[in-house]
Amino acid sequence: MKKQASLKTLICLLLALTFLFPLQAFAENGVFTDPNFREWDTEYPNHWKFVTEDLESAYIIQTGDGFMVEVFESYAYLYQKIELEQQTAYRISFDVLTEGMENSGIGAQAAFMYQVASSDHVFDTAEDYQTVEFFVKTNVDLEQEYVFRLGVGVEGYQCTGSAYFRNLKIEALDVMPDDQIVYTLIGSIGIDAEEFDFIEQTVVEDEYISPAASEEEEVKVTYNSIGVALSGALAAVALFLLFIGRHSPKLGAILQKKSSMIVLFGLAFLIRVLFAITEEGHITDMNCFKAWASIVYTDGMDVFYTSGGFADYPPAYMMLLYIFGFIRDAFSLAYDSMVYELLILLPPMICDLALAYFVFSIAEKKMNRSTGIMLALFILFGPVFVIDGAVWGQIDSVLTLAIAVSLYFLTQGKKWQMAAVYTLAVLIKPQAALIAPIIIAVYLRDVFTKGKTKQALIDIGLSAVAVVVVYSVISLPFKGTQGYLYVFERMLDTVGQYPYATVNAFNLFGLAGGNFVNYDEIFVLLSYKDWGTIFIALVVIFAIYLTIREKDSTRGIWIGAAVTYIGIFFFGHGMHERYVFPSIVFFIMAAIEYDSKRLLGASAFLQSVSFANIFYVLIYRGTWIPEYCIEPIAIAYMLYITYAFIAALFAGTRERTIRIEDVELQRFAERAALEAKYRFEEFEPHDDRRMKKKDYLFMLLITAVYALVALTNLGGTNIPERTEVLTEGESYIIELDESRYIEKLEYYAGYAEADLVVYLSEDGVEYHSGTQTNMIDHEYNKMFAWQFYDIYEHAKYIKLYVSHGEMELREIGFWNEAAELLPIENAYVLGSSGAKREAPDLFDEQDEVDYVTDYMDEMIFDEVYHARTAYEYLEGIYPYEITHPPFGKSIMTLGIRLFGMNPFGWRFMGTLFGVMILPVMYVFAKRIFKKTKWACASTILFAADFMHYALTRIATIDSYSIFFILTMAYFMYEYMQHNFLKEKLSRTLLPLGLCGMFWALGCATKWLCIYAGVGLAIAFFYTVYQRSIELKVILSEDYVLENKEAIKKDFRKKLIWTLLFCVLMFIIVPLAVYCVSYLPYENTAENFGLHGIWKNQEYMLNYHGDVREEGHPFNSKVWTWPFDIRPVFFFMANNMDGEHTAGISCFGNPILWWSGVIAVLFLIGVGKKGKLDFKGMPYIALMALCQLVPWMIIRREVYIYHYFATVPFLVLAIVFALRYLEENFSWGKKAAWIYVGVVVLAFICFYPMITGIVVPRWYSDFFRWLETWPFYNV
Q: Are 352 and 214 in contact (CB under 8 A)?
A: no
Lowest mean pLDDT among 45-54, 465-474, 618-627, 1147-1156: 618-627
pLDDT at 507: 86
The answer as to whether 533 is a domain residue is yes
The answer as to whether 665 is a domain residue is no
Highest mean pLDDT among 485-494, 946-955, 1156-1165: 946-955
d(CA 711, CA 701): 15
CATH of the domain at 94: 2.60.120.260
Q: What is the CA radius of gyration of the chain?
A: 37
Last residue of a domain, one of 177, 210, 243: 210
The answer as to whether 170 is a domain residue is yes
Are 1090 and 1151 found together in one domain?
no
Domain that holds residue 767: 731-844
The answer as to whether 837 is a domain residue is yes
pLDDT at 23: 38
Are 477 and 425 found together in one domain?
yes
Q: How many whole angstroms from its chain centre is CA 1166?
A: 28
In 3D, which of 970, 1023, 926 has the Cα closest to residue 683?
Answer: 1023
What digits encode the pLDDT tens for the residues 881-899?
A: 888 999 999 999 999 999 9
d(CA 1114, CA 871): 27
Angle (CA) 260 266 267, round 5°: 90
The answer as to whether 1273 is a domain residue is no
pLDDT at 920: 97
d(CA 598, CA 565): 18
φ/ψ (deg, to 5) at 975: -60, -40
Residue 191: count of CB within 10 angstroms of its CB: 16
pTM for the full model?
0.75
- Helix (H) or strand (E) holding 895, with range, is helix 887-899
**How many folded domains does the chain comprise?**
6
Are 1087 and 1236 found together in one domain?
no
pLDDT at 1110: 53
> Mean pLDDT of all residues in the chain?
84
Residue 526 bridge partners (DSSP):
523
What digits encode the pLDDT tens for the residues 1208-1250?
A: 999 999 999 999 898 888 888 899 999 999 999 999 999 999 9
Residues ≥6 apart with Cβ < 8 Å to 829: 724, 726, 730, 731, 732, 733, 836, 837, 838, 839
Are 883 and 919 found together in one domain?
yes
Highest mean pLDDT among 401-415, 485-499, 1047-1061: 401-415
Pairwise pLDDT comparison (983 vs 572), residue with the higher score: 572
For 1136, the 3-state DSSP assignment is: coil
Are 51 and 12 found together in one domain?
no
pLDDT at 18: 41
Share in percent of the chain as helix, strand, coil (round to 5): 55, 15, 30
Residue 1198: count of CB within 10 angstroms of its CB: 18
Q: Are 1058 and 988 in contact (CB under 8 A)?
A: yes
d(CA 155, CA 819): 37
Are 226 and 272 found together in one domain?
yes
List C-alpha distances in Å: 1021 to 509, 976, 1014, 1024, 1060: 57, 10, 11, 5, 14
The answer as to whether 686 is a domain residue is no
> Does residue 1108 have a pLDDT over 70?
no
Mean pLDDT calculated for residue range 854-860: 91
Q: Are 566 and 435 in contact (CB under 8 A)?
A: no
What digits encode the pLDDT tens for the residues 300-312?
A: 888 888 766 667 7
For 321, the 3-state DSSP assignment is: helix
| 1068-1072: long-range pairs with CB below 8 Å, 24+ | 1069/996, 1069/997, 1069/1000, 1070/996, 1070/999, 1070/1000, 1070/1003, 1070/1004, 1072/1000
Residue 1223 amino acid letter:
E
Across 770-880, where does the E strand assignment appear? 775-778, 786-806, 809-815, 824-830, 836-838
Q: State the pLDDT confidence band at 139, using cuts at 50, 70 and 90.
A: low
> Side-chain half-sphere of 312: how many Cα atoms within 13 Å?
18
In 3D, which of 1176, 1159, 1180 has the Cα closest to residue 1235?
Answer: 1159
Q: State the pLDDT confidence band at 28, using cuts at 50, 70 and 90.
A: very low
Residues ≥6 apart with Cβ < 8 Å to 25: none
What digits encode the pLDDT tens for the residues 225-262?
A: 676 777 777 788 888 878 777 777 777 777 888 888 89
What digits encode the pLDDT tens for the residues 664-703?
A: 655 555 566 666 655 555 666 655 557 889 999 999 999 9
The answer as to whether 711 is a domain residue is no
Are 362 and 245 found together in one domain?
yes
Lowest mean pLDDT among 86-90, 366-370, 663-667, 893-897: 663-667
Are 141 and 286 found together in one domain?
no
pLDDT at 308: 61
Q: State the pLDDT confidence band at 192, using cuts at 50, 70 and 90.
A: very low
d(CA 959, CA 966): 11
DSSP assignments along 235-286, one per residue:
HHHHHHHHHHSTTHHHHHHHHTSHHHHHHHHHHHHHHHHHHHHH----HHHH
The torsion angle over the Cα atoms of residues 313, 316, 319 and 321, rounded to 10 degrees, is -40
pLDDT at 2: 46
Last residue of a domain, one of 844, 878, 898: 844
Sign of CA dihedral 498, 503, 508, 510: positive
Q: How many whole angstroms from its chain centre is CA 652?
A: 40
d(CA 82, CA 148): 7
pLDDT at 208: 38
What digits encode the pLDDT tens for the residues 58-81?
A: 888 888 789 989 888 888 899 888
End-to-end CA distance of the chain: 84
Q: Are 182 and 135 in contact (CB under 8 A)?
A: yes
Q: Are 147 and 87 in contact (CB under 8 A)?
A: no
What 8-state DSSP symbol labels residue 430?
G
Are 643 and 567 found together in one domain?
yes
φ/ψ (deg, to 5) at 514: -95, 10
What digits encode the pLDDT tens for the residues 803-825?
A: 999 998 999 999 999 999 999 99
Are 166 and 227 found together in one domain?
no
Are 394 and 344 found together in one domain?
yes
Last residue of a domain, one of 624, 649, 674: 649
In 3D, which of 902, 907, 909 has the Cα closest to residue 750?
Answer: 902
Are 101 and 242 found together in one domain?
no
In 3D, which of 939, 931, 898, 902 has the Cα closest to residue 707?
Answer: 939
The answer as to whether 684 is a domain residue is no
What digits encode the pLDDT tens for the residues 924-979?
A: 999 999 999 999 999 999 999 999 999 999 999 999 999 999 999 999 999 998 88
Q: Are 672 and 1029 in contact (CB under 8 A)?
A: yes
> Does residue 566 have a pLDDT over 80?
yes
> Does residue 1095 have a pLDDT over 80?
yes
pLDDT at 199: 26
Could you give the angle at which helices 528-548 and 436-447 cross, rounded to 10 degrees? 40
- 648-683 as b/e, with b when 16 or more CB fall inside 10 Å? beebbeebeebebebbeeeeeeeeebeebbebbeee
Q: What percent of the chain has pLDDT over 70?
A: 88
pLDDT at 216: 35
Could you give the angle at which helices 369-380 and 258-278 cross, rounded to 10 degrees? 10
Mean pLDDT calculated for residue range 358-362: 95
The alpha-helical segments, DSSP class H, found in 572-626 are 581-594, 597-619
pLDDT at 714: 95
- Helix (H) or strand (E) holding 899, with range, is helix 887-899
d(CA 318, CA 325): 10
Q: Are 467 and 423 in contact (CB under 8 A)?
A: yes
Task: Name the maximum alpha-carbon separation found in the chain.
Answer: 138
Q: State the pLDDT confidence band at 1169, using cuts at 50, 70 and 90.
A: low
**Pairing, β 49-52 against β 824-830:** unpaired
